[in-house]
Structure 1
Amino acid sequence: MKKFTIFALATLLYAGAMAQEAKKEATKPEGYKFTVVKQVQGTPVKDQFRSGTCWSFSGIGFLENELIRTGKGEFDLSEMWLVRNCYAAKAEKYVRLQGNFNFAGGGGFFDLFWVMNNFGLVPEEAYPGLKYGEEKHVHGELDALTKAYVDVIVKNPNKKLSTAWKNGFSGILDAYLGTTPEKFSYKGKEYTPQSFAKELNINADDYVSLTSYTHHPFYKKMILEIPDNWLWEESYNLPLDELMQVVDNSLNNGYSIAWGADVSEKGFQYNKGVAVIPQTNVANLSNSEKSKWSELTAKERESMIYKLEEPVSEMTITQQMRQDAFDNYQTTDDHGMVLEGIAKDQKGDTFYIVKNSWSADGIYKGYFYASRPFVQYKTMNIMVHKNAIPKEIQKKLGIK
């Protein structure tokens, strides 16, 4: 009888503990849950690793998606081919401007088409750009060395630029990234970079860059004043609501988007697979949310919100907020990615499916979800095929 009582008591205690655990599990925050609404077919996620070449990876990723969309098949194109050719051109421009120019590893989306038109394109296997003892891209030494080189040239120690400096710079690029192939074989056929690009049949004139800032007139072209826009390429300037119409229209009609954005916000949490702009002002919260947060300090409130254990209320983004963030260096040309789809969270709020270039790891295997407010607030510019733009906006921009 005593043994039975002890056994029964132990059983009850165990059952109680299990019930308590089940209760805890039931009340545990579930985080963000997403349902895909629309997703464009794209190529696999790649890894820029320790290099400042997101612009090249996102530009190439965007172009690879376009090749799929237009029925040309799946390609793995060389990002370092863009990097190599842009480095040489940036060096020449830096010297021509006597060092009054941003010389770094960054770039913009239109660098892709500038290289394609002037030097062609090559597949990854023809130019991997790894000649310096690394299996992945590590550009710290290359970036520092090329910058030091052009700075010496700008100092002009001979009082006249030598005829050798461009060959010397090219030698650095050859040593680290590899010599540029005049010809290569791909899938049993011989190409030059130019003939390969021609066979892809991509027309650079079909692609446009769009942005949204008030310091230039809307519906006109403007040079986006960011350091990595070394080509001084122009973007069409649209009001924010129309820029977002382009984003939605593109994705809903099967066009991916090259997306230049700032990912320095606290709400960008790649380890949790989301990028959001939480509402931290109690006055702007609903009554139920106000009661939840009113007794917390601002620091406690921010800490709770940025845990992102469940969907949070987000700020309403205005045109002025975008402009203020840009003018105050709170939004900078931080990162290039590819928008490939639209999703909804469990509250029904809109998110965009983003392909990153930090390898196929993380909670969503190289992807993350950016909320609509995040995209509204932190977008620097987008590049799309002109046919992805709604007809009425094309007309306002004079695009044919």
Structure 2
Amino acid sequence: MNKTTIKPLILAASLLFSLNYAQAQDNLVNSLKNNQSAKSKESFKFTDVINLANTPVKNQGSSGTCWSYSTNSFLESEMIKAGKTPVALSEIFSARNAYIEKGKNYVRMHGAVTLGDGGALHDVINMYRKYGAVPQSVYTGLNYGTTINKFGEMGELMSGILAGVVKDANKTLTPNWQKAYAAVIDAYLGEVPKNFDYNGKKYTPMSFAKEVVGINPDDYVELSSFNDYPYYSKFTLLVPDNWSFDQVYNVKVNEITDIIDHALKKGYTVAWATDVSEKGFSYKNGVAYVPEKAYEAMTAEEKSTMFDGPKPEMEINETNRQQAFDNYQTTDDHGMHIIGLTKDQNGKEYYIVKNSWGVTNDYKGYLYVTKNYVKYKTTAFLLNKAGIPADVRKKIGV
């Protein structure tokens, strides 16, 4: 194909992804509600080992902003860890700023990057660094009568504007496209206040981030594990939502859970990006594991009782983890917040995970996720570098 053929195909594919992203997220949530067993909660007996302080569960609504909800929840716990009174941070402030930056990248890349609501854990840190932070009470993003996020219409208009810019009918871009693009976002989410009052004091987003939130964005490290890159070096995470082409540190598969365990024991929570489109993930029952037997090989009874108490799991290693990623079994489709560690009645350990789909499941918005699931399905995780074991910190040079 020549360039004139390739460019429209790339643009069409990118637009299709962006237009369908919010609907795909809704479909994913709805399908996961079918992954459940009738007697799950009474069949598990969990005893908490570590349960770190965190803020109330929120609901991302009809938007693909889990990455912002999970990482802002993580930052709220970071405030608690630092001895501060936590503030409910505006997830949509982070998302709005990421949409602005994503639009710029989209145009610079001639449409050959992902649009849509999706993002990565590091996006919140990057936006915090560049734009600061605001309380949720100051910027809710609910600007036209809704009580929860509904981003579908806004996303289509954003995509349409950028499609016109990339098409470049004038052959030379004007400076006005960025104003038009930002105006659409602000029409739906509201304009960001330049100044606002909080607890009787006036702030800008940057001064609020510095004086009230008080975190240092340089303190945060993102990691993953893939065997086709050198361990303990950085690589570009090749998932569609890494629109900024950020790099992460590569560690061995068993070190994923070693690092998370160490962080939790030191009082640090972890932001977690993962795949939740698995039959072994039940939103309704609030349990996730890696079944020892493939779902296709299960009997009807085995399928209906998948979450009725602890079950044997498949062992995870660097080979099957990599294969699952390479053949699209593991996709980067959700972000959550790991806040603790628990054990079932057999002594098996699970992570306590805070979700952002409201409080309608068996554990009021929380889930219990096995260590094998985390090893197998993690696409990236982000934490305070002080929570990383000293030997790993030395190997990666942080």
TM bin, normalised by shorter chain, reads 0.7 to 0.9
Partner of 2:256: 243
1:82 corresponds to which of 89, 94, 108: 94
> Given the superposition, is the C-alpha separation of residues 189 and 328 from structure 1 closer, same or farther in structure 2, using an over 3 Å criterion?
same
Letter in 2 for 1:229: N
> Residue by residue, what CA displacement relative to the aligned partner does 1:252-308 show, whole Å, maximum 9, x if unpaired?
2211000000001001011111001111169xxxxxxxxxxxxxx934167447532
Helix, strand or coil for the counterpart of 1:110? helix
Identity %: 44
TM (normalized to structure 1)?
0.87
2:267 corresponds to which of 230, 254, 260: 254
2:136 corresponds to which of 117, 124, 127: 124
Runs of 5+ unmatched residues, structure 1: 1-26, 283-296
Alpha-carbon distance in 2 for matches of 1:63, 1:36: 22
Alpha-carbon distance in 1 for matches of 2:341, 2:250: 23
> Residue by residue, what CA displacement relative to the aligned partner does 1:43-94 show, whole Å, maximum 9, x if unpaired?
1111101100000000100000000110111211101101111111111110
Check the 8 A contact 1:261/1:381 in 2, yes or no: yes
2:235 corresponds to which of 195, 199, 222: 222
Check the 8 A contact 1:255/1:385 in 2, yes or no: yes
> Given the superposition, is the C-alpha separation of residues 156 and 71 from structure 1 closer, same or farther in structure 2, using an over 3 Å criterion?
same
Indicate whether 1:362 and 2:361 are aligned: yes
Partner of 1:335: 334
Residue 141 of structure 1, CA deviation: 0.9
1:127-276 to 2 correspondence within 5 Å?
127-199=139-211, 200-276=213-289
Runs of 5+ unmatched residues, structure 2: 1-38
2:73 corresponds to which of 52, 61, 76: 61
Alpha-carbon distance in 1 for matches of 2:294, 2:136: 48
Residue 232 of structure 1, CA deviation: 1.2
> Given the superposition, is the C-alpha separation of residues 28 and 53 from structure 1 closer, same or farther in structure 2, using an over 3 Å criterion?
closer
Partner of 1:379: 378
Letter in 1 for 2:387: A
Letter in 2 for 1:148: G
Partner of 2:21: none
> Residue by residue, what CA displacement relative to the aligned partner does 1:4-50 show, whole Å, maximum 9, x if unpaired?
xxxxxxxxxxxxxxxxxxxxxxx999422211111110011111011
Helix, strand or coil for the counterpart of 2:278? coil
Check the 8 A contact 1:280/1:301 in 2, yes or no: no
Alpha-carbon distance in 1 for matches of 2:216, 2:204: 18
Indicate whether 1:42 and 2:41 are aligned: no
> Given the superposition, is the C-alpha separation of residues 28 and 260 from structure 1 closer, same or farther in structure 2, using an over 3 Å criterion?
closer
Check the 8 A contact 1:280/1:302 in 2, yes or no: no
2:120 corresponds to which of 76, 93, 108: 108
Alpha-carbon distance in 2 for matches of 1:79, 1:374: 27
Letter in 2 for 1:354: V
Alpha-carbon distance in 1 for matches of 2:87, 2:219: 20
> Given the superposition, is the C-alpha separation of residues 30 and 194 from structure 1 closer, same or farther in structure 2, using an over 3 Å criterion?
closer
Partner of 1:288: none
Indicate whether 1:326 and 2:338 are aligned: no
> Given the superposition, is the C-alpha separation of residues 77 and 334 from structure 1 closer, same or farther in structure 2, using an over 3 Å criterion?
same
Letter in 2 for 1:124: Q
TM (normalized to structure 2)?
0.87
Helix, strand or coil for the counterpart of 2:137? helix
Residue 164 of structure 1, CA deviation: 1.5
Alpha-carbon distance in 2 for matches of 1:94, 1:258: 26
Letter in 1 for 2:109: L
Letter in 2 for 1:87: Y
Residue 122 of structure 1, CA deviation: 0.5
Helix, strand or coil for the counterpart of 2:338? strand
Alpha-carbon distance in 2 for matches of 1:125, 1:114: 22
Alpha-carbon distance in 2 for matches of 1:351, 1:163: 51
Alpha-carbon distance in 2 for matches of 1:235, 1:39: 27
Alpha-carbon distance in 2 for matches of 1:77, 1:269: 28
> Given the superposition, is the C-alpha separation of residues 165 and 232 from structure 1 closer, same or farther in structure 2, using an over 3 Å criterion?
same
Residue 152 of structure 1, CA deviation: 1.2
- Largest Rg, 1 or 2: 1
Letter in 2 for 1:60: N
Letter in 2 for 1:315: M
Alpha-carbon distance in 2 for matches of 1:28, 1:96: 50
Partner of 1:350: 349
> Given the superposition, is the C-alpha separation of residues 390 and 141 from structure 1 closer, same or farther in structure 2, using an over 3 Å criterion?
same
Range with bigger deviation, 178-187 or 163-172: 163-172
Check the 8 A contact 2:40/2:309 in 1, yes or no: no
Alpha-carbon distance in 2 for matches of 1:42, 1:179: 29
Alpha-carbon distance in 2 for matches of 1:307, 1:54: 26
Alpha-carbon distance in 2 for matches of 1:371, 1:83: 30
Partner of 1:309: 308
Alpha-carbon distance in 1 for matches of 2:192, 2:312: 51
> Given the superposition, is the C-alpha separation of residues 137 and 216 from structure 1 closer, same or farther in structure 2, using an over 3 Å criterion?
same
Alpha-carbon distance in 1 for matches of 2:118, 2:305: 30
Check the 8 A contact 1:266/1:306 in 2, yes or no: no
Letter in 1 for 2:75: L
> Given the superposition, is the C-alpha separation of residues 158 and 317 from structure 1 closer, same or farther in structure 2, using an over 3 Å criterion?
same
Please tell me the root mean square deviation across aligned C-alpha atoms, in Å. Answer: 1.8
Alpha-carbon distance in 2 for matches of 1:136, 1:281: 37
Alpha-carbon distance in 2 for matches of 1:247, 1:234: 19
Alpha-carbon distance in 2 for matches of 1:79, 1:50: 14
Task: Say how many residue pairs are matched.
Answer: 359
Check the 8 A contact 2:280/2:306 in 1, yes or no: no
Helix, strand or coil for the counterpart of 2:299? helix
